[in-house]
Amino acid sequence: SLGMIVAGIKQSVDAAIAEGEVQIHPSADLHKLLPEQDFVVLCLPLTDATRNCFGVKELTLMKPTAALINIARGELVDWSAVCTALKEHALAAFYTDVTVPEPLPDGHADWDVPNLHITPHNSFCPMPSGCVDAKLFFNNVQRLRSGEAVKGQVDFDRGY
């Protein structure tokens, strides 16, 4: 954690718990935690429930010296609210590799928003290698053939 105090939000917990050095909080604690954070990292799936889940209210709760980092999907944030917060110095920085619209067209006004840092959308790197993914795939084929549950299955009720 590089000397940082790390807090996380997890939909499936009812009360704060410790996982190693990280304090995991229920989703209901988000607004209570935001004013304390120097960095907020969004790494959640895009579902009907999470679309535009980070907007004016959440930005208002953050410190003006805080940075927002989105490593997930552009539609999680209210893009115009983030750009407004940056222009009004209510947010120190926004780092993202996804935009709304995607891709952000050449000449779009948001390219000039102060402290909006858009990086290439190329964060995926299979670890330790693509061979692990291939082995998982073939093992899951064997599991299906033998009537066993597959690993890494999508929960369609949750949307991911």
Looking at 19, 36, 102, 148, which residue is catalytic? 102
Residue linked to tokens 């402290």: 115
Q: Is 121 a catalytic residue?
A: yes
Residue 23 near residue 37 (C-beta atoms within 8 A): no
Residue 112 near residue 119 (C-beta atoms within 8 A): no
Maximum Cα–Cα distance across the chain: 59
C-alpha to C-alpha distance for 142 and 45, rounded to whole angstroms: 28
Q: Is 75 a catalytic residue?
A: no
Residue type for 20, please? G
Beta bridge partner(s), residue 10: 26
Query: Which residues lie below 8 Å from residue 92, measured CB to CB, with a gap of 6+?
Result: 64, 65, 66, 67, 115
Could you give the residue numbers annotated as active site?
73, 102, 121
